[in-house]
Amino acid sequence: MNKDNLTKKQEKVFKLIGEYFEGQGESPTIPELRDMLGVKSLRTVTQYLEILERKGFIYRKKNEKRGIKPIGYKAYFNPEMINIQIYGSAGCDNQSIFAEPIHDEYVVVSKQAIKNKKGEVAAIKAMGRSMTGAGIEDGDIVLVERTKDVKNNDRVVAIIDDMAVIKRISFTKTAVILNPDSREEGYKPIIMKRDFEVVGKIIDVIKAPKEKEENEIEIIPVPEQNY
């Protein structure tokens, strides 16, 4: 997000929404925003909201009193942070999750955490429990470096027939194997003898917030491993 995209007044509205959301865990109503801005007309507020939504700084849910969601607020006002859109979901359990973008969900991470990555970094939501042994649980967000350069035992996101999966990858002379990593029984490897797409390898895991901490997201660095 480029700061040049917003005027000073638009930036003020965006900041008010973001600060309220961070403090209250919900967005202000349009009348509350009117009072916060010190204007008389609700239409003035809705015009600001329309501009912010068109420029991608907020997402509005229709027919909800508090349906305004700021996008990338922390990254916009902190030059050390970067805003990453959650590209979609990937299944840990099976091939039932379509690789589709989630247009209104983002995570904010430190630029320091990804500065040495050669490829683009994407955020993907994990679904299922077959990778709990690798520190990836249902609802976690994985940060994925887009690369085809993957090695044995790397944790990867792969696309198979338009379905996204998270597995550990291994190679044989005749096949590529996508393995689960869980102490729970019932999960089976996927053996590939044909072309498929490796999105990239997992570099970090953002743990899903606890129910009582639903507005907090914590970056959990993935330790480097020697194989």
Residue 4: predicted pLDDT: 54
The rounded distance, in Å, linking the Cα atoms of 1 and 40 is 30
The token pair that represents 200 in the structure block: 């990239």
The rounded distance, in Å, linking the Cα atoms of 128 and 130 is 6
The rounded distance, in Å, linking the Cα atoms of 221 and 218 is 10
The token pair that represents 122 in the structure block: 């994407």
Residue 51: predicted pLDDT: 93
Task: Check if the beta carbon of residue 192 is closer than 8 Å to that of residue 177.
Answer: yes
Task: Check if the beta carbon of residue 135 is closer than 8 Å to that of residue 208.
Answer: no
What residues have CB less than 8 Å from 188, skipping those under 6 apart?
Answer: 180
Q: Is the dihedral of CA 34, 37, 41, 45 positive or negative?
A: negative
Using only the alpha carbons of the chain, give its radius of gyration. Answer: 20
Domain boundaries, the chain: 3-76, 78-221
Residue 39: predicted pLDDT: 93
Residue 84: predicted pLDDT: 81
pTM above 0.75, yes or no: no
Task: Check if the beta carbon of residue 157 is closer than 8 Å to that of residue 129.
Answer: no
The rounded distance, in Å, linking the Cα atoms of 117 and 143 is 11
pLDDT by residue for the chain (227 residues), tens only, comes to: 555 578 899 999 999 999 999 899 999 999 999 999 999 999 999 999 999 999 888 989 888 999 999 988 888 888 788 878 787 778 776 554 445 555 567 787 888 778 777 778 888 889 899 999 999 999 899 999 988 889 999 999 988 877 889 999 998 888 899 999 998 888 999 998 766 678 899 999 988 876 544 444 444 344 444 43
DSSP 3-state of 16? helix
May I ask the CATH architecture of the domain 78-221? Ribbon (2.10)
Indicate the fold that domain 3-76 takes in CATH.
Arc Repressor Mutant, subunit A (1.10.10)
Show the 3-state SS of 44-55. HHHHHHHHHHHC
